[in-house]
Amino acid sequence: MSLLPSPENAINESALRRRIRYSKQVVLAMGASLGMATMGMTVTWPNALLRDLRVDNTTLVGTRLHLADWQKDLMGSVVFVGSLPGLLVAGWVLGRLGRRRSMALGAAPGLLGWLLVALGANVSMLAVGRMLQGFTLGMVSVAATTYITELPDASIRGFACVLPTLFSEAGNLFVASLSLVLPWYHLAFVCASVTVLFIAITFLLPESPSYLVVCKEESRARKVLAMLRGPDVDVEEELRILKKQNEGLAGDNPGWRSLLKGVVVRRVLVVVALFLIQSFSGLMVFVSNASRILRSVGSAMDERLSTIVVFGVELLGCACSCCLQDRIGRRRSVVLSLVVMAAALVAMGTYAFLAGNAAAAALEVADLPAKALNSTFYLHVPREKGEQLRVVAEPSMDVMKEVGLAGWEWVPLACLVVYMFVMCLGIRTVPYILASEYFPTTIRPQATSVCMTFASFIIFAALQTYSLLLEVLTQAGLYWTYGAVAACGALFSLVFITETSGKTVG
């Protein structure tokens, strides 16, 4: 990576022309980012499904759904299983068809997946639909991230590269809000319509100039660059630098073989480690299970409204991240977010621990109300010496009053709000940015595909083991474990992240 002088130092460019140039690039990045909004809807949709099934488990076609705990986890995790083939073919498809057409092609299975989910009569149909959505998640995430990395000037690339995450969070909030008035199957039809809109928009986007240069289509690349950079930028110089960077970094054997170079392997390992830290500090667990978690710790606010608050805060955090990425850089934003996340997780775990111990000490098992029973909150009640009986219980408001914790029910929601906000400032967005920025154009699709594939394995493991870890560690122990991962991740990021802010990518 090096500084690209021509667009950033256009000597005769007026402030108005610069604003027009930046605005044009941001609008195009927003068009590509709409695909990530459908990804946010995909990840958040299980919240609406599981909440609605507790009230009425009837499907649109009249059948009834009965989901075991592992099937509830599956509704979130199977998406990331389905993303694996999408990620694996993305590197090849982006190199053959280009970035723009790859986005349109990748979105088609997701459209079919939403229709299967909406019309789902049984768990199998839901699972197949979710896997198809996962394929789209994998392919579109690589295509959109690569496209947006290659499009803008280096001075606003940080802002532009946060837009996919911002749109993803907007998708989260969109689904959470509509779930107040629409059942899960009607919500799926709405999400399908957004996917159709995204496919239509991709046909209006220009192809990536970096991709065109690599494909030796210099005349097309020159036209796209002239449109993006304006009349005050030396387009020929930018073309020359793009060709030089990719020839020097990829050599005569671009593609998968170049991934074996030492510098590429090291950067892939750093990005994969960041995804590991991201997932096992609780990110996707909280996004996919926000309503279950808030209900389990006895949040005072209605779970639907509290879920909307959480996703609204995420959206605000991503908006702030757009402004921060080009100011404080990638490394410092990640360290900041992980340190504050660790503190919030420790506080949330402490609250769960005190609530559980206090309730266990104050109540006999026989006194627990039937309405308090569920599968997520664990009380350990001593019975005889050396023996413990585990009771599965939700702390109702009556229980909270009896154990002296009434008035503190705002703590878990406050901790989750802080966690979600600071998470979006760094660790939520930066791994996806670096998965694209770290690599030159000739190997960017393949390298990003490899990083995202590992990320999907990691996210699947985090989601599918959520209930198991909750049972083994208890709720407090799980949050403390997430907090420890976040603290260790801050140290790792401080040492191993190479700053890319303000530098161009080939």
pLDDT at 252 over 50: no
Other beta carbons within 10 angstroms of residue 226's beta carbon come to 13
Q: Which residues pair with 387 in a beta bridge?
A: 384
Q: Are 198 and 227 in the same domain?
A: no
Q: Are 78 and 215 in the same domain?
A: no
pLDDT at 417 over 90: no
pLDDT band at residue 411 using 50, 70 and 90 as cut-offs = confident
Q: Which two tokens stand for residue 44?
A: 């958040």
Q: Are 123 and 78 in the same domain?
A: yes
The structure's pTM equals: 0.70
CA distance 338 to 51: 30
Torsions phi, psi of 380, nearest 5? -110, 110
Predicted pLDDT at 349 = 87
Helices 99-118/15-55 angle, 10° precision: 20
pLDDT at 485 over 60: yes
Predicted pLDDT at 117 = 92
Mean pLDDT of the chain: 79
For residue 156, give the CATH number of its domain: 1.20.1250.20
Residue type, 93: V
Within a domain: 240: yes
pLDDT band at residue 289 using 50, 70 and 90 as cut-offs = low
CA distance 425 to 232: 34
pLDDT at 150 over 80: yes
Predicted pLDDT at 415 = 85
Within a domain: 258: no
pLDDT at 380 over 70: no
Q: Which of 326, 432, 312 is nearest to 36 (CA)?
A: 432
Q: Which of 376, 381, 377 is nearest to 366 (CA)?
A: 381
Predicted pLDDT at 243 = 76
Q: Are 337 and 238 in the same domain?
A: no
C-alpha dist (Å) from residue 36 to 93, 263, 470: 18, 29, 30
CA distance 154 to 2: 10
Other beta carbons within 10 angstroms of residue 501's beta carbon come to 20
Within a domain: 375: no
Predicted pLDDT at 256 = 62
Structural domain range at position 339: 16-205+270-355+406-496
Give per-residue pLDDT as tens, 206-225: 998 888 888 888 888 889 88
Within a domain: 78: yes
Q: Are 242 and 115 in the same domain?
A: no
Choose between 407 and 404: higher pLDDT: 407
Predicted pLDDT at 225 = 86
pLDDT band at residue 199 using 50, 70 and 90 as cut-offs = very high
Tokens 């073989």 locate to 257
Q: Are 22 and 125 in the same domain?
A: yes
CA distance 486 to 478: 12
Give residues with Cβ within 8 angstroms of 387, minimum separation 6.
Answer: none
Mean pLDDT across 384-403: 48
Q: Could you give the number of structural domains in the chain?
A: 2
pLDDT at 197 over 80: yes
Q: Are 222 and 189 in the same domain?
A: no
Predicted pLDDT at 251 = 44
Tokens 């927003």 locate to 30
Within a domain: 374: no
pLDDT at 129 over 90: yes
Q: Are 317 and 218 in the same domain?
A: no
Q: Are 197 and 109 in the same domain?
A: yes
Mean pLDDT across 376-389: 40
Instruction: Give the distance from CA 43 to its chain's centroid.
Output: 8
Local structure of residue 289 (DSSP, 8 states): T
Mean pLDDT across 459-481: 85
Q: Are 127 and 24 in the same domain?
A: yes
pLDDT at 24 over 80: yes
CA distance 231 to 71: 57
pLDDT at 288 over 70: no
Choose between 404 and 331: higher pLDDT: 331
CA distance 37 to 369: 41
Q: Which of 89-103, 145-159, 394-408, 419-433 has the lowest mean pLDDT?
A: 394-408
Within a domain: 344: yes
Q: Are 199 and 96 in the same domain?
A: yes
Q: Are 71 and 121 in the same domain?
A: yes
Please provide the size of the chain in residues.
506
Q: Which of 75, 31, 23, 24 is nearest to 49 (CA)?
A: 75
Tokens 């946010």 locate to 40
Most confident of 247-261, 271-285, 360-374, 466-480: 271-285
Q: Map residue 403 onto helix, strand or coil.
A: coil
Within a domain: 387: no
Contact 43, 167 (CB under 8 A): no
Predicted pLDDT at 354 = 77
Q: Which two tokens stand for residue 317?
A: 């955090």
Within a domain: 372: no
